[in-house]
Structure formats: structure tokens, C-alpha cells
């Protein structure tokens, strides 16, 4: 069995109640459920943008609060629904995180641009000149610049049009596979969940209702709650 990267043990936070599950190496976990179920709150517990009121979160079998927060967030990178870029050039955004740790080499910029299918000459562009899809690609590249082991994705394509969604999904899958990343992703699209995920965690009213293989959850749900949710989706 692959290594446990994250373990949540009886975690409570705001709406979340007794959340218990394990995220293993190279899992692609899809977190889904109705609005207000606690999906984003759960995702933020992975890199201490939020902390539990009760219970424990282990990262590589060690309590997460024992990690230095900047180092933790370097290893556990977050891409948000709306890209929050610095008002500088694309290059300035890419090098910001690694430069904090004196770990930037110029050659990495070209590799990152290639990863997210953006032209090299965009490096010197102001982020204000970019389209929504291009900004999200830069946001993804900026997170990857820190060489994370775990990638957190909070509905990263929900603000994009269909053409950009398809292109960024293709980039994501290629990047995840190439870099052997472990992923936890919130999405409202069950089609996207099938395309990207390997595991699924369905939560409702802050509780884990079903957890397991994503295709099994979506095609053969065990609970009435998940059946009703899929029927409405």
C-alpha cells in the first residue's frame, strides 16, 4: 500500500464534524458535495489556512502544527478559483515563492511556461495584460514553481469558459502525472471529477457520507444522500 501523506482523525472545524480519512501518495482526491457542506474549509486544513477546533491532521505521520507554515505551504501548494497574482510581471510571480528560500534558477521559468502551455515571451508581460485563462495558468505555474508534493485545487476552472476548462484540465492531468503529485481538489463538476480524480470524498452538512474510488462513488453510490445529490447534479 502506498504511503499515507495526510491523515485526518476526528477533525471538527466550523461545519465539519468528525472528518476521518487518509490521503495516500499519488491519490487524486475529489472533494464534492452541496454548497455549504464544508468543502473549501476542509481543503484549507491541508496547508493550515485553517486549523481544526478538535481532532488532528497528520502530514507524513507528523502533526501538521509541527511544521513551519511557509515550508508546509511550499510542499502543499494551493490554486484558488480566482487567481490572485501580484501586480507585476509573470516572471516576478513565478520566482517570488522560490526566492524566499533562495531556490530560484532562471532556467526554471522556461520549464514552468512550457508546463502550462504559455509562450516564453509572456515572462516579461504584466499580469494585467493576461486573459482569465492565462492568469489561471500563471497561478498554476506559480504554485508549481515551489516544487510541491501535494497540489490543492479549489474549483480552479469554475470561472473559465469551456475552451479554457478543457485546456487547463489537460495541462493539470499532464502535470500531475509527470510530477507524481498527490492531489486534493474541490469541484462542482462530476464530469471533471471523473476525468481527473481517482478517489472521492462526498460530504454533506459537514460530515463524510461516502469515501472511496471516484468511479464507484459516482456510478454506484451506497447512500441515499449521494444518490439524491447525483440525481440533482
Q: Which pLDDT value is given to residue 1?
A: 66
Looking at residue 188, the DSSP 8-state letter turns out to be: S
Q: Which three cell numbers stand for residue 36?
A: 455549504
Q: Which three cell numbers stand for residue 97?
A: 515563492
Please give the distance of CA 169 from its chain centroid, rounded to a whole number.
12
Cα 207 from Cα 152, distance rounded (Å): 20
Q: Which pLDDT value is given to residue 159?
A: 67
Cα 152 from Cα 100, distance rounded (Å): 21
With contact defined as beta carbons under 8 Å apart, do 88 and 126 qualify? Answer: yes
Cα 100 from Cα 103, distance rounded (Å): 8
Cα 70 from Cα 64, distance rounded (Å): 12
Average the pLDDT over 32-40 and give the result: 94
**DSSP annotation string for 90-123:** HHHHHHHHHHHTT---THHHHHHHHHTT--GGGG
pTM (two decimals): 0.91
Domain boundaries of the chain, sorted by first residue:
4-232
CATH number for the domain whose boundaries are 4-232? 3.40.50.300
- pLDDT tens digits along 115-150: 888 999 999 999 999 998 889 889 989 998 898 999
Q: Which pLDDT value is given to residue 220?
A: 96
The CB-based long-range contact list for 13-18 (8 Å cut-off, 24+ gap) reads 13/38, 13/41, 13/42, 13/45, 13/50, 13/51, 13/52, 13/53, 14/38, 14/41, 14/53, 14/206, 15/41, 15/205, 15/206, 16/41, 16/42, 16/203, 16/206, 17/206, 17/207, 18/55, 18/207, 18/208
Cα 139 from Cα 82, distance rounded (Å): 9
More confident residue, 130 or 161: 130
Residue 90 CB partners (closer than 8 Å, separation 6+): 113, 118, 122, 123, 124, 125, 127, 130, 138
Cross-strand partners of 38: none
Average the pLDDT over 146-162 and give the result: 84
- pLDDT tens digits along 196-228: 999 999 999 999 999 999 999 999 999 999 999
Q: Express as a percent the part of the chain with pLDDT over 90.
A: 67
Amino acid at each position: 500500500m502506498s504511503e499515507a501523506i495526510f491523515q485526518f482523525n476526528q477533525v471538527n472545524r466550523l461545519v465539519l464534524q468528525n472528518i476521518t480519512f487518509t490521503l495516500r501518495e499519488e491519490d487524486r482526491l475529489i472533494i464534492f458535495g452541496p454548497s455549504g457542506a464544508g468543502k473549501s474549509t476542509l481543503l484549507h486544513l491541508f496547508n493550515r489556512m485553517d486549523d481544526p477546533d478538535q481532532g488532528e491532521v497528520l502530514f507524513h505521520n507528523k502533526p501538521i502544527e509541527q511544521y513551519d507554515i511557509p515550508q508546509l505551504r511550499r510542499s502543499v501548494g494551493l490554486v484558488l478559483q480566482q487567481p490572485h497574482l501580484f501586480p507585476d510581471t509573470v516572471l516576478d510571480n513565478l520566482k517570488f515563492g522560490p526566492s524566499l528560500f533562495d531556490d530560484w534558477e532562471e532556467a526554471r521559468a522556461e520549464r514552468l511556461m512550457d508546463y502550462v502551455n504559455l509562450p516564453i515571451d509572456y515572462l516579461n508581460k504584466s499580469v494585467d495584460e493576461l486573459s482569465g485563462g492565462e492568469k489561471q495558468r500563471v497561478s498554476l505555474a506559480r504554485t508549481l514553481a515551489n516544487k510541491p508534493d501535494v497540489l490543492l485545487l479549489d474549483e480552479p476552472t469554475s470561472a473559465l469558459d469551456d475552451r479554457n476548462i478543457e485546456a487547463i484540465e489537460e495541462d493539470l492531468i499532464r502535470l500531475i502525472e509527470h510530477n507524481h503529485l498527490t492531489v486534493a481538489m474541490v469541484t462542482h463538476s462530476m464530469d471533471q471529477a471523473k476525468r481527473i480524480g481517482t478517489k472521492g470524498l462526498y460530504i454533506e452538512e459537514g460530515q463524510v457520507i461516502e469515501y472511496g474510488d471516484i468511479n464507484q462513488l459516482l456510478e454506484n453510490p451506497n447512500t441515499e444522500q449521494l444518490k439524491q445529490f447525483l440525481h440533482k447534479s
